[in-house]
């Protein structure tokens, strides 16, 4: 089988989601890790003209946009299938993928978890007061997701879907700061879902630490607290 290639920066939720799907599919792939900042290099801009990570290739077919890659993988490697056969369950999957892109990315990861939990690790100064002011909006996003999850095992029912694999890299970072941990604990069914997801070998194979270890990419110097 032709190798799948993911190019991106270890630690990004948008890099981890495709790696998770590849691990879950059990297909051969290569992760071309680049260091933080290299997404603006001329070489990388040839893969993704907006300088956003990740970018993808499969043989001579090169493209980008994480959702496009996840859906492509589910088409060209049909088993195990991560798109529900039932049209309503598939629509919930697409809705939750949309919620991840439209609200979790900005209001949870961007506004709260990155500045409070991750920025220091990357040597990036962050406005912690603004991040704390954003906590109610982040809590609202998580409450909406927790309501859609309900008492199901996975976001769209009894089986894993692309929505779980798209969302979990964001939720897995919540415990990186006390405020994020508190947000998670406020939604017990979401916390239980995260624990179930964390038990999967795919999650362990794609953690920030593991990717740094296997790729040899160096972290920037941390900033003083």
User: Which position among 35, 38, 52, 191 is part of the footprint of a second copy (CB under 8 A)?
Assistant: 52
Closest separation between CB of residue 118 and a second copy, Å? 21
Residue number, 3 or 213, with CB nearest to a second copy: 3
Residue of 1, 43, 75, 125 that binds a second copy (CB under 8 A) = 75
Note the residue count of the chain. Answer: 225
Please tell me the count of residues contacting a second copy according to CB under 8 A. 31
Does 181 interact with a second copy (rule: CB under 8 A)? no
CB of 17 to a second copy, least distance (A): 13
Q: What is the CA radius of gyration of the chain?
A: 17
Alpha helix positions (H), 64-153: 66-76, 87-99, 128-133, 135-149
Among 29, 31, 72, 114, binds a second copy (CB under 8 A): 72
CA–CA gap between residue 55 and residue 49 (Å, rounded):
10
3-class secondary-structure state, position 65 = coil
User: Residues near 133 by Cβ (< 8 Å), separated by ≥ 6?
Assistant: none
The residues pairing with 31 across neighbouring beta strands, listed in sequence order, are: 6
Cβ neighbours of residue 206 closer than 8 Å, sequence gap 6 or more: 16, 19, 20, 23
Q: In what order do the strands lie in the sheet with 29-33?
A: 29-33, 4-8, 55-58, 61-64
Our CB check for a second copy shows the closer of 63 and 185 to be 63
47 touches a second copy (CB under 8 A): no
Q: Is 61 in the site for a second copy (CB under 8 A)?
A: yes
Rounded to a whole number of angstroms, the minimum distance from the CB of residue 64 to a second copy is 6
Among 5, 32, 35, 98, binds a second copy (CB under 8 A): 98
User: Which listed range, 68-76, 108-116, 188-196, 210-218, lies at the site for a second copy (CB under 8 A)?
Assistant: 68-76
* Span near a second copy by CB under 8 A; candidates 23-31, 34-42, 71-79, 203-211: 71-79
Torsion of CA 26, 29, 35, 37, to 10 degrees: -100
**Chain positions contacting a second copy, by CB under 8 A:** 49-50, 52, 61, 63-69, 71-72, 75-76, 87-88, 90-92, 94-95, 97-99, 101-103, 140-141, 144
């Amino acid at each position: 089988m032709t190798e799948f290639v993911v190019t991106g920066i270890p630690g990004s939720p948008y890099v981890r989601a495709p790696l998770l799907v590849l691990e879950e599919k059990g297909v051969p792939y290569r992760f071309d890790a680049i260091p933080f900042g290299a997404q603006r290099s001329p070489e990388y801009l040839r893969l993704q003209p907006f300088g956003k990570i990740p970018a993808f290739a499969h043989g001579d077919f090169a493209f980008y946009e994480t959702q496009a890659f996840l859906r492509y993988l589910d088409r060209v490697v049909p088993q195990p299938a991560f798109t529900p056969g039932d049209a309503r369950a598939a629509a919930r999957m697409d809705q939750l993928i949309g919620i991840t892109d439209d609200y979790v990315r900005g209001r949870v990861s961007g506004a709260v978890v990155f500045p409070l939990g991750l920025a220091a690790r990357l040597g990036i100064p962050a406005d912690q007061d603004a991040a704390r002011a954003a906590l109610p909006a982040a809590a609202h996003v998580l409450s909406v997701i927790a309501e859609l999850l309900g008492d199901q095992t996975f976001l769209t029912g009894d089986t894993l879907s692309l929505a779980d694999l798209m969302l979990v890299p964001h939720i897995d970072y919540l415990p990186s700061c006390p405020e994020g941990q508190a947000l998670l604990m406020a939604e017990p069914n979401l916390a239980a879902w995260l624990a179930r997801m964390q038990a999967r070998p795919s999650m362990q194979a794609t953690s920030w630490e593991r990717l740094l270890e296997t790729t040899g990419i160096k972290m920037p110097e941390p900033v003083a607290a």
